Amino acid sequence: MSRSADTWILTAQCPSRLGTVDVVTRFLKESRCYITEQHSFDDRLAERFFIRTEFRPQDHDLDAEAFRSAFASRAAEYGMVFELSAPGARIPVVIMVSKADHCLNDLLYRYRTGQLPIEIRAVVSNHPDLEPLAAWHGLPYHHFPITPETKPEQEAQVSRVIEETGAELVILARYMQVLSSAMCAKLAGRAINIHHSLLPGFKGAKPYHQAYEKGVKLVGATAHYINDDLDEGPIITQAVEPVSHADYPEDLVAKGRDIECLALARAVTLHVERRVFLHARRTVIFER
């Protein structure tokens, strides 16, 4: 079920205290706002509280600045940090790719058909191969080749595109380069990566061929926020697909591509709908 086009989103977190739900719901009631969806979670080990609320003003247009100012005084009593997101907000995005086109193609289709509430500002790649695909969708394509010697200069070019486009989210749609520590720090909490997640895991070249040789029964994918630990950032979503002895390496590759597309699109949707809270090295995620 898609999010209603006229609902606002209030997300917040704070130390665990009596009245944390009440401070949100009471304020919305007093502001004549009807709650259409609400999720909350209290981490008793970390003593941290999280809440996400969708609501609709009943008989007036919402003044966002007045709302933030009024709620801030209530939230301060609880040490509550909050964000308010307007209806129909489309997050500006930059997509990074290399040569594989399946994740990019899937994102572009979902974007073109309105399934993803994002605004793709540019596609960045270290190869020229996917420029025709971006051009077909009318999107700017930036080809920045990279070598070990030119990595700092290349990442500076990428950073300029992100800053100039105002991108709030960067999607690594099979971008086959390891980002530097500085780049990871700059994009912390706003860059999502996708990679194969096979059980057991296989690294290096041809992971699906390695999996075939070991006779795995599941292939999968993991979408996560990037950090300085390669492929070990906070996980947003994971997906698996069963395979059998009758599946050859090319079958595993095909199934793996499909599951990567689904996992990445799901992760982007959760992020842009403000359903993901970063919590140390973990995530708190409120599904629909």
Residues with active-site annotation = 231
Pairing of the two strands 81-85 and 276-279 = unpaired
Cα dihedral angle (194, 189, 36, 286), rounded to 10 degrees?
Answer: 60
CA distance 132 to 262: 23
- Mapped onto helix, strand or coil, the DSSP state of residue 223 is strand
Classify the C-alpha dihedral 118-7-273-103 as positive or negative: negative
Residues 6+ apart with CB under 8 A from 162: 94, 170, 187
Q: What is the DSSP letter of 126?
A: S
- Other Cβ atoms less than 10 A from the Cβ of 57: the count is 18
Pick from 272, 287, 282: nearest CA to 86: 272
